[in-house]
Amino acid sequence: MALFKKRTVGKPGEWYYCLEHKKVEEGPECPNKDRFGPYASRPEAEHAMETARARNLQWENDPKWHDAPAGGRNEE
């Protein structure tokens, strides 16, 4: 057991969406691996999952994402 637990310190006004707890938090309460952010406002953080879905859809439909590697053949 650690005597001193390192606590992530956030700034007031920074908002995060915690993937583990599925809630918005002011300041980083959870580890980096479990959150999206920082966001400028609470409403922006509340829409984090929608924003991520929209960006994923853009990337999946981006023709550059599906380019064949140099040499013109697909690597498997």
Angle at the Cα of 46 (from 56 to 23), degrees rounded to 5? 105
The per-residue b/e assignment along 14-37, b for 16 or more CB within 10 angstroms, e otherwise, is: bbbbbeeeeebbeebebeeeebbb
pLDDT confidence of residue 11:
73
Q: Map 18-33 to HEC letters.
A: ECCCCEEEECCCCCHH
- Report DSSP state, residue 45: H
Question: What's the pLDDT tens digit per position in 10-34?
Answer: 677 899 999 999 999 998 889 999 9
Question: What's the pLDDT tens digit per position in 30-44?
Answer: 999 999 999 999 999
The Cα–Cα gap between 76 and 62 comes to 21
Q: What are the structural domain ranges in the chain?
A: 15-61
